[in-house]
Amino acid sequence: MKANVYVAWIGVFLGCLFGAIQGLFFHREDWLGGYGSWRRRMLRLGHISFLGLAFINLAFVFTASELGITSGLAWPSRLFIVGAATMPLVCYLSAFKSVFRHFFFIPVLSVLCGVGMFLWRILF
């Protein structure tokens, strides 16, 4: 689970970095086609997914620690890492090549399965 902590803090850093870079241009109404354009929406989603999935990884680590769970965590751990790595990637790639939007199932299923497996481990 140490890897989840590292991935989480890298995600926080990248979310702040990409947010700062994108923030340099947000005041321009026509930037990337305007506020409602596909590109701009995908960039915003990519930026926030760094942070959101970082917090999911941290919540996973601290919940398991608080509940004293030490076994049955390998797959949820891996799936949360895959989700944290692939969601921003798919978002940013989709912003410039819409064909990449077909790969959203990878991060979504990774996180969904990770949550389901972890919830199962907690409850049963």
User: How confident is the model over 61-103, as pLDDT tens digits?
Assistant: 999 999 999 999 999 999 999 999 999 999 999 999 999 999 9
How many alpha carbons fall within 13 Å on the CB side of residue 29?
0
Would you state the pLDDT for residue 28?
Answer: 86
What pTM value is reported for the model? 0.94
* CB neighbour list of residue 109: distance below 8 Å, 6 or more residues apart: none
State the DSSP code for 97: -
Contact criterion met (CB below 8 Å) for 88 and 50 = yes
Would you state the pLDDT for residue 121?
Answer: 96
